Amino acid sequence: MSSSAASNKKLVLEAFDRLFNKRDYRAIECWSDRYLQHSALIARGRDGILERAKSLPDSARYENQFAIAEDDYVVLYGRFSGIRADAMVTINVVRVENGKLAEHWDVWEKEATRAESASGLPMFGDHFPDER
């Protein structure tokens, strides 16, 4: 992995942790002024992501299982919990430009319980959500 890909991965992981877990709203400075948001759940621009973060309950938490970085793109595989009854496993794709989060796409899926898992394997980590 190139040093820029490694630094992009570190930037995106720290930005998500600061904004969604630590509720450090100054972390919005990690997002570009020209931020493009492709999520169906979040309004346009940097203000949209900030308002979404502020609207989450105190119980909301983002956990990252792994991150992949290539050039200007970082892909996070993680879980948002504490937002609704079911945890949601997510894939977030972030494009970094000039040291800022510049563009974002995501996919969300309800985390399956053991009874719901056709494979018999958990979607996130090594435990099912109903076995924690």
pLDDT digits (tens, 9 = 90+) for 41-63: 899 999 999 999 999 999 999 99
For residue 18, the number of C-alpha atoms closer than 13 Å in the C-beta half-sphere is 16
Residues 29-43 have a mean pLDDT of 96
Looking at residue 84, its pLDDT comes to 86
pLDDT of residue 129: 84
Contact between residue 39 and residue 57 where contact means Cβ atoms under 8 Å apart: no
Q: What is the mean pLDDT of the chain?
A: 95
Are 5 and 75 within 8 A, CB to CB? Answer: no
Q: Which domains does the chain have, with CATH numbers?
A: 3-123 (3.10.450.50)
Q: What is the pLDDT of residue 1?
A: 63
Q: What is the mean pLDDT of residues 7-31?
A: 98
